[in-house]
Structure 1
């Protein structure tokens, strides 16, 4: 073969290599991780996000999916997504450990209804929180899903008034402001991984816990609790977040597909929340659990000092803005 022929072959090989490299770069691999198992709202959000993105993006993405705490609990996953070892994680109440502005969700009775909370998160309040989380932790908020309003379960007595919380050992998330709120109400809050709560309740290491009804069901906590009190004391969103550097690396087209998939995941959790609240009370009662509706007016009165304390943490100006956007 002459020199010209060798040059032509060399150019062709280089072109093929460049094309191959371009094709490889066009496919994005994303690591998705969640602490919980199928059926739980966090898992539902990530699963629907995965399926919707897989359908819309096709061969553009490879999605590695880890559930049931395969990569660790929520606290571990928060660290992993920050350093890029995970790309997409749905975060519950513990997100406040990354950004203190999320402490507003530990302010009791901030939202009058789920509709009010959803409207705020889909609007200006959600935009403010998303901007803050990107600044504080380099996480891109994809959408806000729903854990829902939380109830208190325990094995000592029905919770009718704040006084009934006195001395109860209640599992809470690791949020310092959630812990502070229950301390101010007289309880003995105990942070613990959600996966350990069932055994702790069964063995008596805990008296009770607080979670949305759907979470109580999915973790079978009603099997080891005598009372469930529908306090609806705080509303908990799900923050579906992506590592900021990963987000920035995506094309605008793929970013749009990611956001659309996240919205589908969020809507799935809101539908689950409605279904759970409509059906689970009777299911719990049939299982022998006593379900009651507390004196909410008494709880709201007791919560006023908690709002003031949380306002000092998130700044009085931001708390005033949140109240403006949620009333």
Structure 2
């Protein structure tokens, strides 16, 4: 656990004079599954730093990272229960709001800019309303994990048949598991922190994650093949417990949203930097890199879309498709 506490000038002066009654700070507990440097952790820390800039001495912030409070599923339950106040969520958010199954639909977003524009606009508003209604969480901002790539130790993945039988670590997302099963793989949900050893020991053949997570979790050290599948785009969904939000003053709420906007910008900038720089690092580490046959994969995914569409709901799915396609 890492604790970040701030102290007002008045409190310091009061202490120096032997006085009591320092100005009260609003406590905020922030938690994340991953270690420092990994994109989820990075966005959360950027939020904490920006909050101090936006509202100096207004908040007393504690950060629990590295999974000390559990994996992502546990983080989501903690924030819903109000035991922590702010968490960044990756793929597993679908387990508390099935509208997020959209992000498990292969090749739904053609590029990052399309995804960002949609999430900063009408699609983001749809998700904010859904999260509040279904989970009691206030959406603060969408950061970016990015497009996910497939790594493994058996063979390059070029066409869907190359996935046959591969034991791939996935998040707990039931729709991600379904998608890989449909394509012939053997998806294995596992805590992210356990995947390195499982791949090193051969319990797993591989995994699928964006560049930043692959690097920060050192997966490139225990994986031979990197297939640039870009099969799904994963945002970072930064949320606050809605009761915590409602308990803030208007000025505090304004500072929180400004800090979230700064964290979003930093997260996306980190994602862009990772996309631009990490491929050469992976190749230098000895990974064999290949492109996939995109046409072959798109030919194989209609059954996945049909099932995901049923889970998301036709109305939400159709509206989201219209937003993303710019119609």
Decide: shared fold, TM above 0.5.
yes
* Partner Cα separation in structure 2 for residue 175 and residue 73 of structure 1: 13
Deviations 1:71-106 (A, max 9, x none): 221111111101111000000001111100000000
Structure 1's unaligned 5+ residue stretches are 1-18
* Partner Cα separation in structure 2 for residue 198 and residue 94 of structure 1: 19
Q: TM-score, normalised by structure 2?
A: 0.92
Residue 222 of structure 1 pairs with residue 233 of structure 2: no
Larger gyration radius, structure 1 or structure 2: 1
292, 298, 301: which is aligned to 1:300?
Answer: 298
Name the counterpart of 2:265. 267
Q: CA deviation at 1:273?
A: 0.9
Q: TM-score, normalised by structure 1?
A: 0.92
Name the counterpart of 1:181. 179
Displacement over 2 Å in runs of 4+: none
* Partner Cα separation in structure 2 for residue 135 and residue 47 of structure 1: 27
39, 42, 45: which is aligned to 2:40?
Answer: 42
Deviations 1:14-70 (A, max 9, x none): xxxxx959x53xx21000111111111101100010001012212221111111112
Q: CA deviation at 1:264?
A: 0.9
Structure 2's unaligned 5+ residue stretches are 1-19
Name the counterpart of 1:202. 200
43, 51, 57: which is aligned to 2:55?
Answer: 57
Residue pairs, 1:1-327, within 5 angstroms = 23-24=23-24, 27-327=25-325
* Partner Cα separation in structure 2 for residue 59 and residue 299 of structure 1: 52
| More off after superposition, 252-261 vs 65-74 | 65-74
Aligned residue pairs total 306
* Partner Cα separation in structure 2 for residue 33 and residue 270 of structure 1: 20
RMSD: 1.2
Deviations 1:263-300 (A, max 9, x none): 11111111111111111111111111001111111111
* Partner Cα separation in structure 2 for residue 301 and residue 251 of structure 1: 52
SS in 1 for 2:36: coil
* Partner Cα separation in structure 2 for residue 277 and residue 20 of structure 1: 50
| Contact map agreement 1:54 1:63 (CA 8 A) in 2 | no
Higher percent of residues as helix: 1
* Partner Cα separation in structure 2 for residue 168 and residue 70 of structure 1: 30
* Partner Cα separation in structure 2 for residue 323 and residue 55 of structure 1: 38
* Partner Cα separation in structure 2 for residue 234 and residue 203 of structure 1: 27
Name the counterpart of 2:17. none
